[in-house]
Amino acid sequence: MFIDYAKIKIRAGNGGNGAVAFHREKFVASGGPDGGDGGKGGDVVFVADDHLSTLTDFRYQRSYKAENGANGSGNRKTGRSGKDLVIKVPRGTVIKEAESGVVLADISGDEPYVLAKGGKGGWGNQHFASSTRQTPRFARDGYPGEEWEVILELKLLADVGLLGYPNVGKSTLISVVSEAKPIIADYHFTTITPVLGVVRIDAENSFVMADIPGLIEGAGEGVGLGHRFLRHVERCRMLVHIVDVAGSEGRDPIDDFNIINEELKKFNPELAECPQIVAANKIDLATDAQLMRFRKFIEAQGLEYFEICAPINIGVKELVNAVAAKLATLPPIKRYEAEEVPMEILESKKASTGFKVTRDGDTFYVEAEWLIRIMNKTDMDDYESMQYFQRVLESSGIIAGLVEAGVKEGDTVVIYDLEFDYVP
């Protein structure tokens, strides 16, 4: 089964805890604290795999977690870092944050993408020794790894998309011009999965063509099978619109053309602006009057027009050459840029507003897993960003919790990697 959509949860590994330990060695008096740091948690990494063509595997496993870092130990030994979790997806998979829908990554290139970062290891008690605190009996816990619920959407990487009603000859055309062999369902009217084929012009020039399963009226609103595959048209540099000019299915070819373009517009208005070439197929079954009527209609739209009979390769070479010439003038295949997840979404995703404040002399430590997401997205050098972070601390009750714990002006507040002097 062709699966091109999945929702999964991913979580990076937590950092290991720092150790509380003291050096013990013969003839060495007061060896001092030597607790090691915890290891870093493993990242969750996505990579493209050309051996995969669907997201089927994600139907059976919905939760993924990288390995936690190991705890530190005595003799200043740092814990082992957790192993990264590498998730392989088909090339062309777009990853979106589930709640907001913003794009986190487009896995179209060869470079791996770290989507969830592992938590840093906590400090061992060796870091907390000072002239006034020579035997610290505490260490810092490791930081939690990032966690996301994401949507995976496979959007095929193709230069050209073949569009048209079911049974107009798209599958036949792609099988004639490439080595692709579309799988046709038992019922007569449509290919059951999108199919990619490489069309070679000569030894140095080629392009990728996608046979998009047949659309019908209402596809943009979820009717029929074609709506499942409209997302695969979004990346195409241009479209070839195949029309049964003979009306052999009892439909008017002009109506077919208008309806399909309307469905594209409903699904994504940008698709209506995508360059199109129109191919009138089944000319062997059409009358001269039918051919003339449709030709005049398409030329009035200002579109390039070709008449073909795909099964016997009539007019196909001219069509392919025109497509190649058009592609030479167009920008490369669309890549989706990563977007910033809104701060409001990050804050709303916290499991609770729970936090913990601990005190060690004039230093106050704040722990709140939900706050890490917001901290990772906060630009500490930007005034407005810091103002927002200050509001989060106030609205969540952290400031009040610090006051209750006895914080005073000039005391040090440590929130994971962030350290600052408290100013009321």
Q: Helix count (H) and strand count (E) of the chain? A: 8, 18
Phi-psi region of 277 (alpha: psi -120 to 50; beta: other; left: phi over 0): beta
Q: Tokens for 96, please give them.
A: 């979106």
Contact 398, 375 (CB under 8 A): no
Which pLDDT band holds residue 223 (cuts at 50, 70, 90)? very low
Amino acid letter, 343? M
- Whether the pLDDT of residue 123 is over 50: the answer is yes
Query: 28: which DSSP letter?
Result: B
Q: Could you give the CA distance from residue 323 to residue 327 in angstroms, rounded to a whole number? A: 6
- Whether the pLDDT of residue 186 is over 50: the answer is no
Beta strand pairing call for 5-11 and 63-65: parallel
Q: What is the mean pLDDT of the chain?
A: 85
- Whether the pLDDT of residue 351 is over 50: the answer is no
Q: Which of 170-174, 265-269, 370-374 is modeled with the greatest confidence?
A: 170-174
Rounded mean pLDDT of 403-420?
88
List, for residues 373-389, the tens digit of each pLDDT value.
778 777 778 787 788 78
What residue ranges define each of the domains in the chain, with the CATH number in brackets? 1-154 (2.70.210.12), 160-327 (3.40.50.300), 343-424 (3.30.300.350)
Rounded mean pLDDT of 210-239?
65
List, for residues 127-161, the tens digit of each pLDDT value.
878 777 777 887 888 888 888 999 999 888 889 98
Alpha-carbon dihedral of residues 104, 108, 112, 118, nearest 10 degrees? 20
Residue 310 has φ and ψ, to the nearest 5°, of: -55, -45
Q: Which residues of 88-98 are buried (b: 16+ CB within 10 A; e: fewer)?
A: ebbbbbbbbbe
Confidence (pLDDT) at 389: 85
- Whether the pLDDT of residue 29 is over 80: the answer is no
Confidence (pLDDT) at 220: 44
- Whether the pLDDT of residue 251 is over 70: the answer is yes
Among the residue ranges 68-82, 213-227, 245-259, 321-335, the one predicted with the least confidence is: 213-227
Q: Could you give the CA distance from residue 352 to residue 350 in angstroms, rounded to a whole number? A: 5
Contact 153, 4 (CB under 8 A): yes
* Cβ neighbours for 232, distance < 8 A, ≥ 6 positions apart: 4, 154, 155, 156, 158, 161, 194, 210, 212
- Whether the pLDDT of residue 93 is over 50: the answer is yes
